[in-house]
Structure 1
């Protein structure tokens, strides 16, 4: 399944479920209980923790499952969709279409849980009257669907192996959804027993959860700020060159897909991502006159230009967060046959990250408009890379690129 089709399908489902929930509420009427549950979508949506290498979690399950037990199913659909849209548009500053994609990811597991329970109970679901065992079954279906959909999304959109996703972010996502769902079941029973006291306890529980999860949000925000800062630096470097200003970002995205296609561990993928973003940072030490010269460089100018990988590595090495990627930057102009620079390394002696960045850099350069030529097609770029496979480029990396070029 293509990235665009998958994203469109998620967005379509998210929008459709929200429209259905609004229509159902208009026909059945909205109780004060429903208004409270919908209002709680705001605080649970604010606490958004982005996971590495993909996915995110919020506190939405605690309100979604509570709504599923206390209110008609369309209320939980609305809470799931609205929390995702609020989180995406208001707090993550993403376009509405992306937020609808998240809404699809949040609502599909709820729909699956409702449909599963309807089949098992042979009747329309009334979760408030279901036994505790039946409610736990609904929670189990919801959590499994949420994790597996997250794994599928990571696979299709980011090229992340499903096992890799399940071993790290998937495990965290599942544990979070399970914990919050169990809390929701307890709060729902409290509300059914004590009425308004239970709703007050729900509000207090969400406040406590926000406080408990906030350190994780801060760490997530710091990581996001780090990559945003690196991208800003890279964009400034790109503007010194003849690129459009987004070369580093695009080359990094290609390098990450290549690394995952080659099944490198996620810590290595993260280093490659940083290295690809900053691979040309050493150009700050090269004269702009040389970088922007439209004609062939003379030997002295070429020697100066060939120092930029070394300068880049030296800039990065003292910074703890960047040091691991410095070696990749130093060697990203080494050629597979040993004719590259700065050290003339050959074959597998070149760090695999450097070999990946070289291919990603070249592919993006070929398919990007330059002052002296128009961008060439992906098929033409692949032909050039294959012609130089085994000479300039690692054949395994070129083969990996060919296998994913359709989704780039």
Structure 2
């Protein structure tokens, strides 16, 4: 059982008012709010150990380096990676996917195939289009059904000896669908394909075990797990990270440099060129500590309650249709009201203090599939309450009355 009142006290932003109303924040799929422990850790870093890392012999540099590498170890432990050097700090999920896709762009060739799904965020579509255009490989898509679930029988038909990469989301940001990634990974490996899992939407709700999943790459963003923006993680199996070429050149990622030839540093530094977001990486470790202190089993159970309650309450509104009704879902509800544009609903409920996301959610192919311009998306986190859902429902009712 979670003590929600106590948890909410950890998040100063939740106490403010928006447009004269208490803030109800239901845009967690876009970014999570930050607990005071994370905010304090940012200030502490800059006030006490701010220095560049891995290079200096002076005390502050050593302290900053130790803290940064301690954060790497926390992430390794959190996702159960075998090796510390399999954890690469990045600027976020998008950066991580681009790093991997760019590397495969030089490994793929004409006739090879890359498989993604119909549920992907643009950041797990466009980089693979780049890679295919560069290499001559072909991009294939696992289709979905009207519930927003992948059609696994069609996935089976796509796989063959030409399949080199399968890249799919763990959870859909637009619909909340939890994909059967264990099955996806196992079947891809039967054909020798590498598998990348986009965990941006999963990691706020689920503690992934990359060894148990047996994925080759797993990526996520810090800001969605209560950490700072501009931070992210790329996990890659050691053998795959050694195969991929560096994504950027510069300091830190080199072993030796001459005008004739450069040799690259060992993992993880091979993929961490330049001065990183040191404070962000350190503080991401604090955010992970905070979430583990609450417990991901507790988070998942409570958020499932919010999902069921929110679904029930919203469906009480005449003309409201939920887009994405998969059997396996996380705490995301995308919906529309017949005859009303989602943007108009979003504007009105914002005036009532409720923050939701409207639009295509960087998933235009999903919206095209359903033949809609976008949805209103309410995404719940462990610091939200059923009382806030009631406020959302009343705000949507008012918006409907004004716009009908």
Using CA pairs under 8 Å that are at least 6 residues apart, name the structure with larger relative contact order, 1 or 2: 2
Structure with greater proportional strand content: 2
The structure with the larger Rg is 1
Structure with greater proportional helix content: 1
Normalised by the shorter chain, which TM-score bucket? under 0.3
The TM-score normalised by the length of structure 1 is 0.26
